[in-house]
Amino acid sequence: MTEQVRVTARAPVHWSRTPVIAIGLAGSTILAAVGLVFSRPDVIGIGLPLALATAWMLLRRPGDDVLSIELRARPERSDGSSEVIAAADAVLDGDWLQIAVDQEEQRSGVADVKVGSSVLTSRNRLQHSGPLELLGVTVRGVALDGAWVTEAAPRVALRWNTPPRHVRIGRLPVAPRLRGLHGAHEGSRPGQGGDFRDIHPFAPGDELRRVDWRATARAARRPGELLVRRTATLSDSSVVIAVDTAEDLGTVVAAWGADDADRAGVTSLDLAREAALSIATSAVGVGDRVAYHALSPGGLSLPSGGGARHLARVRDVIAATGQSDEDSRYRRSPVVPAGSIVFVLSTFFDGVAAQLAIRWRAAGHAVVAVDVLPAPDESRLSREQRIALRTLLAERADILVELRHAGVEVVAWTDQDVDVAMRLAALRQQRMRTVRR
């Protein structure tokens, strides 16, 4: 995301008195009484300006107005930098504003600022990809030295979708059936663009420029027979990316379930978004069609498509994919085009994503299970917690074994060279397709 994001809100506000007026009246009354009792006109003179100022504050009540707030954010640089600059504008007929500032859904402080543009500016270094609340403000107005204040306006928040980084993948496994007429994969049907297929007698529809005169002179069986050189067609693959958003587990195991992304390290959804964007970029780069599904109730989805514009839409949807807020697991299989290759991105702890992968494999799709669990850090775990973690990892290992037995390729995204792992998976799949033919 390189464009600027804006959020605008307008709210009517009403002014109310503060204890400042009562304190001013009480102070001026006490000074006047003391001056009269002790016959001190100087004390009465001290209280007179206070009384006049308090009367001025009481009579000059500000009129009800509309508070206008605008939050905007933009990346510091257009090269995919993780630093974002956010600013807030506030317009109100008052002396100054009191703003409660929240960054990444945590209260960071309270500030008194003047009314105008860029009343607040923040610089954020983002540690994770995906959606987050970049800046939230709660504003109220102050007038006449604090004598009048408005009620706090409704909280305004600016959300930011951070795109993940892209890992270059040279080759991906392809769908078992290549149906398109455009792409970079060699299909099984005769056509144009691929490698040599066979020599075949001339038939209606063949082009004269494809006549192989040497083969005709050598192998023609009767006068007038022409032989043409046929090549294989180049087709595109149907790619489906399915991301399990039920869990977001970080590198630090002690932070699991604590909902503290700053102390969790790299999380599984960080790796899932990175893997999804890398797979989509590689697939679209060779002319394949890509569909995207977030495996959660009401999750984001995109139908199959190709080209640079579709890749930009996929990048935006991936950046907007966060952890599911629903407690229920996603058990309905999304619509997958026939003969597709499905990349299932999950930690494979609960087995629901594995069940979907096995179901897709049984339906005839090629399936690749991408394990996005980061390498666990056990440094702050107790002995009992380490035993529990080993039990969970053992159950997960059984799930991965079941996937392999069902014919699903399993690739760990945390491998040192995931490109090599994807190439090996593609070679194994190509060997299986050759044997079936």
In angstroms, the CA 434 to CA 370 distance is 24
Each residue of 317-341: pLDDT tens digit? Answer: 999 998 887 655 555 678 888 888 8
Is residue 131 within 8 Å of residue 159, measured between CB atoms? yes
169 in a structural domain:
no
Cα 93–Cα 98–Cα 101 angle in degrees, nearest 5: 130
* pLDDT of 433 above 70: no
In angstroms, the CA 367 to CA 344 distance is 7
- Phi and psi for 260 in degrees, rounded to 5? -125, 90
Q: 289 and 222 in one domain? A: no
Q: 244 and 215 in one domain? A: no
Range of the domain at 156: 5-17+62-162
Q: 404 and 256 in one domain? A: yes
Question: Can you read off the two tokens belonging to residue 354?
Answer: 């594995």
Q: 267 and 217 in one domain? A: no
Is residue 172 within 8 Å of residue 166, measured between CB atoms? no
In angstroms, the CA 90 to CA 99 distance is 10
- What mean pLDDT, rounded, does the chain reach? 82
pTM assigned to the model: 0.79
Q: 198 and 263 in one domain? A: no
In angstroms, the CA 383 to CA 43 distance is 74
- Please tell me the predicted confidence (pLDDT) of residue 74: 85
Q: 268 and 366 in one domain? A: yes
Q: 301 and 317 in one domain? A: yes
57 in a structural domain:
no
H-helix or E-strand spanning residue 125 = strand 116-125
Q: 243 and 298 in one domain? A: yes
Q: Region 265-278: what's the mean pLDDT? A: 92
In angstroms, the CA 331 to CA 308 distance is 32
pLDDT classification of 43: cutoffs 50, 70, 90: confident
If we measure between CA atoms, which residue out of 112, 113, 158 comes closest to residue 135?
158
Q: Region 40-53: what's the mean pLDDT? A: 81
Domain boundary, last residue among 235, 257, 272: 235
Q: 195 and 102 in one domain? A: no
Alpha helix segments (H runs only) across 242-382: 261-264, 268-285, 308-319, 352-362
- Please tell me the predicted confidence (pLDDT) of residue 292: 95
CATH of residue 12 = 2.60.40
Question: Structurally, how many domains does the chain consist of?
Answer: 3
Is residue 364 within 8 Å of residue 176, measured between CB atoms? yes
171 in a structural domain:
no
173 in a structural domain:
no
CATH of residue 421 = 3.40.50
Q: Region 95-119: what's the mean pLDDT? A: 85
Q: Region 6-35: what's the mean pLDDT? A: 85
- Please tell me the predicted confidence (pLDDT) of residue 55: 82
Each residue of 188-238: pLDDT tens digit? Answer: 555 554 555 666 676 776 666 777 677 677 777 777 778 777 665 666 778
pLDDT classification of 372: cutoffs 50, 70, 90: very high
431 in a structural domain:
yes
Q: Region 257-274: what's the mean pLDDT? A: 82
Is residue 155 within 8 Å of residue 408, measured between CB atoms? no
Q: 226 and 112 in one domain? A: no
Q: 299 and 285 in one domain? A: yes
38 in a structural domain:
no
Distance of alpha carbon 192 from its chain centroid, rounded? 40
Q: Region 140-150: what's the mean pLDDT? A: 86
Q: What residues contact 391, with CB distance under 8 A and at least 6 apart?
A: none
41 in a structural domain:
no
Is residue 238 within 8 Å of residue 337, measured between CB atoms? yes
399 in a structural domain:
yes
To the nearest whole percent, how much of the chain has pLDDT over 90?
20
Each residue of 154-186: pLDDT tens digit? Answer: 899 999 998 898 888 888 887 776 665 565 555
pLDDT classification of 113: cutoffs 50, 70, 90: confident
Residue 146 class from Cβ within 10 Å (0-12 exposed, 13-18 middle, 19+ buried)?
middle
Q: Which amino acid is at 402?
A: E
Among 55-59, 170-174, 217-221, 428-432, the least confident range: 428-432
Q: 407 and 348 in one domain? A: yes
Q: Region 70-95: what's the mean pLDDT? A: 80
Domain boundary, last residue among 211, 235, 259: 235
